[in-house]
Each structure stands twice: as structure tokens, then as C-alpha cells.
A and B are shown apart, each in its own frame.
Chain A
Amino acid sequence: MHELGIAMRIAEIATRVARQEGVKKVDAVLVEVGELSGIVPEALLFSFESAIKNSFLENSRLEINLISASAKCSRCQTVFRPEGFFSLCPVCEGVDCEILSGKELFIKSLVSENGK
């Protein structure tokens, strides 16, 4: 249920930036979503469709880049892909692991195919 709110925010930011930049038609909105960000990408795509109905972004598509989680063990320095928030090191079973990526949640850019 987070996703509709996030989709609405994406649409607002995209609309504002497009107007500032004088873009007439936005073909794609690119977002980066970490797999630990608490967002379900499929739900975000679905919500985006609702969020842009009858708006400036009507025919835009959302492109999500899902960023894998990565973590680094502070004991043996192994970098690994944690399973969710279980950040036990797979090599030394250390518990002190720092999440390097996977929490991202931001709008990256807008694309206009014909440059206008």
C-alpha cells in the first residue's frame, strides 16, 4: 500500500521537472528502487498507471531499475548479497555487516524520445 503514494510522488516530480525543462512529452520516467527499500516493483508499476491517468504524463511509462542488495562483512570484508535484512556473513557468519546497496529509492531521470 506504500506504492500508490510513491507513484503519486514520482508523477508530481516528473511533471514539475518536465515543465521546468520545457519538455512537451515524457516517454519514460526512470526510477531506481533498491530491493530492501520496502517497495514492491510490480505494485509500483501498477500504481503508476493509476497515478498518471488523465494527467500530463498520461502515456508515459515507468522504468524501474531494481538494485540488488549488497552487504559487506566488517570482520572478513566479504561482500555478499544478503537475504533481506538477515545480514549474516556467508563466509564467517559474522553479524556485523554493513548494507552497501539495496535501500535506494529515487527518481533518476526523464526521457523524451524525440528530444522535445
Chain B
Amino acid sequence: MCQTCGCEGKGSMVTIGRPLHFQPQKLETIPEKFRESDSPSPLAGIRIDRPAVRKGTGGAREIEVVENLLGDNDAAAAENRKFLNERKIFSLNLMGSPGCGKTTFIIKTIESLKEELEVFVIEGDQFGSLDADRISATGAKVIQINTGNGCHLDARSVGKAIIELEIPVNSLLFIENVGNLVCPALFDLGEHLRIVMLSVTEGDDKPVKYAPMFHGAAMCVINKTDLLDYVDFDIEKAKDNLRKINGKQKIMTLSASRGKGMEDWLAALRNEIRASKS
């Protein structure tokens, strides 16, 4: 079983993490008036902002462990990032609901960049290779990862796919995550840019309802704007919601299938690639 979200992932996803040696931030930095944490929890076993202090009574022994519970994935992600950086390969982790338009967005991007950049794709889906087949038709090299009952891609399986793709220096790598707004948010894949896609048919309230996903992405692409006349989607409200969740997020609005707004996206992508290499 996957150690993080309980899904029936592959065995390679479940090995134990390495220590990261980080220190949690201390709450002492917070002014008293914002602290509401002194009330005891109704359940024994849970303290709030009270790290256990063990006094030396009766020779009790406390053994330091400090091991991140998502550590294994983070270590693999760091390896991926190092590998990609050394080869100047820019990588994107594209996430979003099933059907929000991720694959079409990737295909249109590949077609637009054909002359200037070689694009490689890692496709994450529960089953089948429908998306990989569509991408393969553009001429781009693609690997399909089937997660089976798993609900997200993890850094280790992506790392294997990266090796297998034999990506040359200065290329672009798209990682299309499994369509899901919950679990993929927890897993760093070693990407340079994390993008979450939101289509206008899903509703402008999604950033609030799936906050960790939208909080963790550096860019949000609002897709299917050609359908705005037919749905109750308030773009300004969606942007407000996004800003509340992540004030630093870059927001793009476009229609991947109709092409409107794609030039702005491509310009933003070129900027990101340039910035990553300087």
C-alpha cells in the first residue's frame, strides 16, 4: 500500500525515508494575540505546540529520530532535480482534474514549440495509454506510467521514466500527473515549475475547495475560456480565490483547443526556461 495516501501503489513507492535534518519553525515568533493553541486537546495523545520534554526520571531514554515521513519521495525528487539541472532540461509538473484539458494543452504546446525545442512527455494515468498515443502522434517521445490503483505520480517512478526517455540536453519535459486535485499535491517530482490547470467548466470555487493543490503550484492555467459564455464561471472570482490561497501564483487564462491565450503562455514558458538557466 502507498505509505502516504493509502492507495494500492507499487512496491517501489513504499520504501522508508531518509532523514532530512530539518528543524520545524518555532511558534514563539507569533504574537500572543494570534495564538489560540493553549486549549488542551480532547484526546489524550495529542498536544498542541507542546513538544514533549522528557525529564530524566528513572533513567528514561529518548532516542532522536527526526525522519521526515514523506522523506523517501523528497530524496528521489532531489535526485531528479539534480539530474535535470545538470542536463539543462526544464521540467513541468502539470496537475488538474480529469478532463480539464491537460493533454490538449501539452499537444498544442508541443506543436507551437516544434521548431525551437525538443519536448518529452511523461504521462500519468490510472490505466491505458490513450493520452500517450495522442501525444505520440505529434512526434514527441512519450512514456506512459500506469499507476493502477495509485492516485498520483511519485518521484521514484518519474525518475525511472526520465532515464528511460534519454532526454538530450536543453530539452523540455512535461510531466502530466494523474487527474486528481488531492494526492499529487503532496508529491514533489523534482520539477522546475508546478502548474495546476483549472477549466471553467469546473467552477470558480475549486481553489478554495482544493487549497493545498492550488497553494503548491507556482502557476495556474485557467483553461477552456472559449466556454465562458455557456457556464457560470466568474474569472475575477476565480482569480480572487487563487490569490487568497497563493498570492505569488502566476495566473494564465487561455483556451488550449481554440488557441486563444496560448501565445501568452508560450511567452511565460520561454521566460521560465530562460530564468532557470541564468
| Complex contact A80–B34 (CB within 8 A) | yes
Q: Which residues 56-86 in B have Cβ within 8 Å of A in the complex?
A: 58-71
Chain A residues whose C-beta falls within 8 Å of the C-beta of B70 in the assembled complex: 105
Chain A residues near B (Cβ < 8 Å): 1-6, 8-10, 12-14, 16-18, 21, 23, 28, 30-32, 34, 36, 38, 41-42, 45, 61-68, 70, 79-81, 84-88, 90, 94-97, 100-101, 104-116
| Complex contact A101–B62 (CB within 8 A) | no
In the complex, what residue of chain A is closest to B49 when comparing beta carbons? A68
> Which residue of A2, A68, A105, A108 contacts B35 across the interface (Cβ within 8 Å)?
A68
| Complex contact A62–B69 (CB within 8 A) | no
Name 13 A/B residue pairs within 8 A (Cβ), A-sorted: A2-B4, A5-B1, A9-B3, A13-B16, A23-B63, A64-B47, A66-B41, A85-B212, A87-B244, A106-B71, A109-B64, A111-B62, A111-B63
In the complex, what residue of chain A is closest to B186 when comparing beta carbons? A38
> Which residue of A4, A10, A34, A42 contacts B6 across the interface (Cβ within 8 Å)?
A4
The secondary-structure label for the interface of chain B is: loop
Chain A residues whose C-beta falls within 8 Å of the C-beta of B137 in the assembled complex: none
> Which residue of B22, B25, B215, B247 contacts A70 across the interface (Cβ within 8 Å)?
B25
C-alpha spacing A9/B43, complex, angstroms: 22
Chain B residues near A (Cβ < 8 Å): 1-6, 16-17, 20, 22, 24-27, 29-31, 34-37, 41, 43, 45-52, 54, 58-71, 186, 211-212, 214-215, 243-248
The secondary-structure label for the interface of chain A is: mixed
Distance (whole angstroms) from the CB of A47 to the closest CB of chain B:
9
Chain A residues whose C-beta falls within 8 Å of the C-beta of B24 in the assembled complex: 32, 34, 67, 101, 104, 106
| Complex contact A6–B4 (CB within 8 A) | yes
In the complex, what residue of chain A is closest to B19 when comparing beta carbons? A106
| Complex contact A45–B46 (CB within 8 A) | yes
Distance (whole angstroms) from the CB of B45 to the closest CB of chain A:
5
| Complex contact B29–A70 (CB within 8 A) | yes
Distance (whole angstroms) from the CB of A44 to the closest CB of chain B:
9
Distance (whole angstroms) from the CB of B5 to the closest CB of chain A:
5
C-alpha spacing A66/B52, complex, angstroms: 11
Chain A residues whose C-beta falls within 8 Å of the C-beta of B36 in the assembled complex: 81
C-alpha spacing A64/B49, complex, angstroms: 10
